[in-house]
Structure 1
């Protein structure tokens, strides 16, 4: 395929992770080195930055600050939750995107996000093909939920899993300080897929973790839940429970009391309050002292517990997206293919069509969840354990993390 010269735009979308900036670093550094990419632009707050012509000139950033991105949590360029309409029904946004692409001669577009972000990427790609504007478009995977189809796992998941497992081990020790009875309920992120909640079982595998783990892949039964907790509490005087925020009853309704409080830009329920609600139920039924804990945003921004493996793979995903596009690929997402044979972990990248990635959710296999639906099997542990390995070297100043400080020079100011 002939060389395609032009500028590129790199955007971040959806919920941030502790390593999404590592992917941005990989993509930005690779793009700055590519001779055929004439200018590297960062979209302020994802696709909204493109629509609003708010683009950062990444060539104005110092190499030293870009290098610090790999250890900087959250989304350095800013994120958004913005759903593009079906272009056959309303192509207003797409016309605007095309206008901006033409204004800056953008021939490469890289979008870093999860399920909904890949939907955005796919729609833009198909529209540009339809109108005949040559632009190579690549998706870079990201989501702590690990529910993105077509890839073994997602950058961001491993670090969140490591944070959850570590936090559960620490809470376990705190909950066992006194010789009085206590039940602890820990609420973990995950709307429809239980990868994160299941990761709490790593703490149990290590010797200090939840007695019970509930994932949304199995319908929740409140009476059985109470009986499970009561049985362990009666036996040991303690019980620790990990629950996914998205656990639901057989009719599909969320157990969370906050299920109807709000929705995000894509119509997903904003969940929360589950740990508090379950703690109150257990307290009333058992009379035990109960504590409800919600890990909340700490799961996705706890960069101090990031996995080195996760960081390196996140950078690789960003770099490969650029290299693949320069080589002539488009309409794809970078995905991971991994082997764990004999305890040896290997990860390589492949390219998957955006069509099979967008709007499909990958859930925990039922056979990886125990028959009772209140824990995970060894296969789950074997899957996650290699992903959380390694401790990154983190620059510090005054004993505090030194995060990247970008100039964020807008193209409109140059």
Structure 2
């Protein structure tokens, strides 16, 4: 049995899962085992609710074979949540941490979770509790860091899926296919569909991002022109497309409190194409398939997720707190990033959107600069498809 006079470490997941969130968990667990300062290695079951309810799993009691499966397991092995916290909850979290001799808290999540992470850090300042954020998001919208674990795999999924769909559309070029990608406010995943292209003219033929106001007339013009040329057209759109007033192009279908639920953008646009252009159209919405896919998990994404998990433990042991682990890109070709620590206050609820130089002038495609930026993150090259012309 492992014995240590040190303090305990707790890992908690927040927000939507990714294909590599468990890889970061694995990295943190394995690194924690190396340090005599750490006694028990806990995971909060079900996100922050697991802290409040003191539902912990002890990873020292788990078999080596189970731990080794984590980097290749989708979703969150310890569960996660989007639970809204109030001042009283933060006070209770502190009490739970102190009661359980938890000196090291690692919070793995996106920008919303980093806000929670920062608030927990502020609440624990008078105690010797070290709080470190581990970046995680498929949306790639965490500020400061070059990118975030989870995005590379989601990007690989949308690129591969778009490439596969494009072969179907090319084989039977009679309609327009509109694919809807996740990312309500930031278009990083939608943009990554561009990596499906191998040569000029390949799908996706049009890409629309939430960073630019959606112009319905220009959209119909673009679709009609390409349909007349090709017969089959593939369009990739963000779920968060908005008009020039900043309103969703799809009317809300249900409202509950502060939450507003909209219909599918892909379905709306497909019907628009049929009604306005008289062209056959169909819609596809992979949705959470894109964040749960292990088949399309990026090897680079997995490797980097493990690294940030391990680095967060190293930082906490060295006395760092109130920081998030981030990536600083050294070069793109060859691809090289270094890990760094970012003050959590600079990340909390700050949303990183696609910059202008990554979007073309008409707002219906991405630029070569984006493709260059994104390509290393999806890992090994996508499978090559046979092309009969």
TM range (shorter): over 0.9
Deviations 1:353-408 (A, max 9, x none): 000011001111112100000000000000000111238xxxxxxxxxxxxxxxxx
Partner of 1:160: 154
SS at match of 2:311: helix
Partner of 1:39: 40
TM-score after normalising by structure 1? 0.88
Mean CA deviation greater in 56-65 or 197-206? 197-206
**Alignment match of 2:356 (pick from 342, 350, 366):** 366
Partner of 1:307: 298
Runs of 5+ consecutive residues of structure 2 not aligned to the other structure = 382-389
Tell me how far apart the structure 2 counterparts of residues 297 and 336 of structure 1 sit (CA, whole Å).
25
Alpha carbons 1:32, 1:39 under 8 Å: kept = no
Alpha carbons 2:203, 2:233 under 8 Å: kept = no
Measure how far apart 1:224 and its partner are.
1.2
Deviations 1:71-98 (A, max 9, x none): 101011001001223xxxxx31122112
Measure how far apart 1:35 and its partner are.
0.7
Partner of 1:63: 64
Tell me how far apart the structure 2 counterparts of residues 256 and 11 of structure 1 sit (CA, whole Å).
35
Alpha carbons 2:107, 2:134 under 8 Å: kept = yes
SS at match of 1:291: strand
Tell me how far apart the structure 2 counterparts of residues 12 and 271 of structure 1 sit (CA, whole Å).
27
Mapping of 1:109-258 within 5 angstroms?
109-129=105-125, 132-178=126-172, 180-205=173-198, 208-257=202-251
* 1:82–1:255 distance in 2 versus 1, CA, 3 Å: same
Measure how far apart 1:120 and its partner are.
0.5
1:382 is the counterpart of 2:372: yes
Measure how far apart 1:196 and its partner are.
0.4
Alpha carbons 2:330, 2:338 under 8 Å: kept = no
Deviations 1:168-188 (A, max 9, x none): 00000111222x521110000
TM-score after normalising by structure 2? 0.93
Deviations 1:43-93 (A, max 9, x none): 0111110011111111111112111100101011001001223xxxxx311
SS at match of 2:279: coil
* 1:358–1:383 distance in 2 versus 1, CA, 3 Å: same
Partner of 1:395: none
Alpha carbons 1:146, 1:157 under 8 Å: kept = yes
SS at match of 1:382: helix
* 1:353–1:311 distance in 2 versus 1, CA, 3 Å: same
1:84 is the counterpart of 2:85: yes
Deviations 1:253-304 (A, max 9, x none): 11234x453579xx56555511111100001111111111101111100111
Partner of 2:54: 53
Partner of 1:402: none
Runs of 5+ consecutive residues of structure 1 not aligned to the other structure = 86-90, 392-414
Aligned-residue CA RMSD (Å): 1.6
Alpha carbons 1:245, 1:271 under 8 Å: kept = no
Measure how far apart 1:200 and its partner are.
0.7
Q: Figure out how many residues of one structure are paired with residues of the other and give that number.
A: 376
Alpha carbons 1:50, 1:97 under 8 Å: kept = yes
Deviations 1:4-50 (A, max 9, x none): 94111101110010000000100111112221011111001111100
Alpha carbons 1:308, 1:388 under 8 Å: kept = yes
Alpha carbons 2:143, 2:351 under 8 Å: kept = yes
Alpha carbons 1:246, 1:271 under 8 Å: kept = no
